[in-house]
Structures are given as structure tokens and as C-alpha cells.
């Protein structure tokens, strides 16, 4: 499903259930050895989808281990991202000769629980979300903002190798035409980003879709993509 908002240079594999034939490789078992069953199923299906996606890039089956912040460690020459929520698991991979970084996230099209919006959104973002909810209440724009910020973080971390707080980037959601189930968003970094191909990273642009009760967001940065100028404040992006 998520391929709808992705370019041709990436490979996506997603599923709405946990296939009974999904298994882990021995090296991956230790990562979820003490996990509850729900977490284990999510992890196993995500690795199953990841190997299917890598196969379409010509990469042979191999363990996908986890880094210091639980990020997936992809084979050499590959960039990728994983997401899972209730009723959905998705993986996107690409050759790093074509794609610099990629980030996706999936969330139910449901309101955020009380207090979450205040903890993840800047004041201007909360105003922006309220306006969108009034105009198009069938889409949970509060959850959309959270989902977009998760995609921003997943795109940021492989390049910066450091944490990014929710208030370290300001996101503007673009709803598209009336009634549209897809649109876009822009994220402007409020911290100094890393240099990518000799240029300072200052933000991301992405796309979103709403379908089958889910919100999906995706950021894909091609190797040749320009880095958009933006003002930044000189602080570290950690938490």
C-alpha cells in the first residue's frame, strides 16, 4: 500500500497481518528473546518483509540486527526503514547509490491520547493541526503530525547519528485538494543538521496517505536532491 506515495527507486513490502511462515534468523533471536509476544510478532514480520524487500534489490537473505537505539542495521549499500502499528507492518529499502535516506511511519487514523499532542507539537503546529481538524475532521491531523515527525526522525538518524527531539523540527502538513487521501508535508530543522554531499541538511519533504484506517508518511531523499535553505538555531539535536 505504501508504494502509492513512494518513488520508483525504492522497494516497499508491507502486510496487514503476521504470516505464519515468518521466522527470524538465529542472530536476530537475541534481540527479542525477552520481548512480549506482540513485540516479537511485529519484529518477526518486519524482518520477514525486510528480507523480501532486500531480495528484490538482489541482496541475499541475512540477519538484520539492531543498533544502539534499536535502529535496523542494513547491509552495505542499502538504506532502509521499518514501521509497524496495530494491523500493519511495512519496510522500504533502496540502493544507497540512488537514495540518501528514507523514513516511513504508520499510525491508526485515530486521535492521539490526551497530552501527547502537547508533548510532540510546537505552539504553531498545534494551531495548524486545529485548523486542519476543523476543515477536514475525517483525518486525524494530530496523529498525522506525530506520524510525520517519526518519519523525519527515521530519515535524520542515519545521517546525523544522534537523537532528534520532537521540538527540533517544525512540520507543515499540506492537505492537497478537497477530499484527497494523499498529500505532502515539509519539515524544517531547528537544529544544525549534518553535512550531506557537502551541503548542510536543513529539512525534509515527504508525502502522506490515509487508507484502510491508517495514516502513512514517507520521506525519500534522492542522492541528487538539493538541501533546502532554512534558518537554524545553533543547538545540538539530542535528548
- Domain residue spans of the chain: 2-103, 110-212
Cβ(44)–Cβ(64) below 8 Å: no
Q: What is the mean pLDDT of residues 197-205?
A: 92
Instruction: Tell me how long the chain is.
Output: 239
- d(C-alpha 165, C-alpha 229), whole Å: 20
Lowest mean pLDDT among 70-84, 139-153, 178-192, 217-231: 217-231
Chain position carrying cell 534499536? 70
Give residue 225's pLDDT: 61
Look at residue 116 and tell me whether its pLDDT is greater than 70: yes
Give residue 229's pLDDT: 41
In CATH, the number for domain 2-103 is 3.90.470.20
Give Cα 143 distance to the centre of its chain: 13
Lowest mean pLDDT among 72-86, 163-177, 221-235: 221-235
Give residue 39's pLDDT: 92
Give residue 62's pLDDT: 94
Q: What is the mean pLDDT of residues 142-161?
A: 97
Q: What is the mean pLDDT of residues 96-123?
A: 96
Look at residue 197 and tell me whether its pLDDT is greater than 60: yes
Does the pTM surpass 0.85? The reply is yes
Q: Could you tell me which residues come within 8 angstroms of residue 62 by beta carbon, excluding any fewer than 6 positions away?
A: 25, 51, 54, 75
- d(C-alpha 42, C-alpha 32), whole Å: 10
Cβ(81)–Cβ(131) below 8 Å: no
Which pLDDT band, with edges at 50, 70 and 90, does 226 fall under? low
Q: What is the residue-averaged pLDDT of the chain?
A: 91
56: its cell numbers: 528484490
Amino acid at each position: 500500500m505504501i508504494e502509492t506515495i513512494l518513488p520508483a527507486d525504492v522497494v516497499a513490502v508491507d502486510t496487514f497481518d503476521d504470516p505464519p511462515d515468518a521466522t527470524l534468523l538465529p542472530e536476530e533471536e537475541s534481540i527479542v528473546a525477552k520481548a512480549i509476544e506482540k513485540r516479537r510478532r511485529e519484529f518477526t514480520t518486519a524482518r520477514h518483509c525486510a528480507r523480501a524487500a532486500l531480495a528484490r534489490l538482489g541482496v541475499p537473505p541475512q540477519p538484520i540486527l539492531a543498533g544502539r537505539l534499536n535502529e535496523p542495521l542494513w547491509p552495505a549499500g542499502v538504506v532502509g526503514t521499518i514501521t509497524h502499528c496495530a494491523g500493519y507492518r511495512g519496510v522500504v529499502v533502496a540502493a544507497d547509490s540512488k537514495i540518501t535516506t528514507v523514513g516511513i511511519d504508520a499510525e491508526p487514523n485515530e486521535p492521539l491520547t490526551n497530552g501527547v499532542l502537547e508533548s510532540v507539537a510546537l505552539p504553531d503546529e498545534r494551531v495548524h493541526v486545529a485548523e486542519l481538524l476543523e476543515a477536514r475532521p475525517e483525518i486525524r491531523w494530530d496523529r498525522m503530525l506525530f506520524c510525520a515527525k517519526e518519519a523525519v526522525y527515521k530519515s535524520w538518524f542515519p545521517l546525523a547519528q544522534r537523537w532528534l527531539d520532537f521540538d527540533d523540527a517544525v512540520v507543515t502538513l499540506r492537505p492537497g485538494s478537497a477530499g484527497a487521501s494523499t498529500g505532502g508535508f515539509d519539515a524544517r530543522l531547528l537544529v544544525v543538521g549534518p553535512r550531506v554531499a557537502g551541503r548542510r541538511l536543513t529539512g525534509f519533504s515527504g508525502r502522506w496517505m490515509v487508507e484502510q484506517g491508517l495514516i502513512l508518511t514517507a520521506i525519500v531523499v534522492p542522492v541528487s536532491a538539493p538541501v533546502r535553505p532554512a534558518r537554524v538555531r545553533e543547538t545540538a539535536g539530542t535528548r
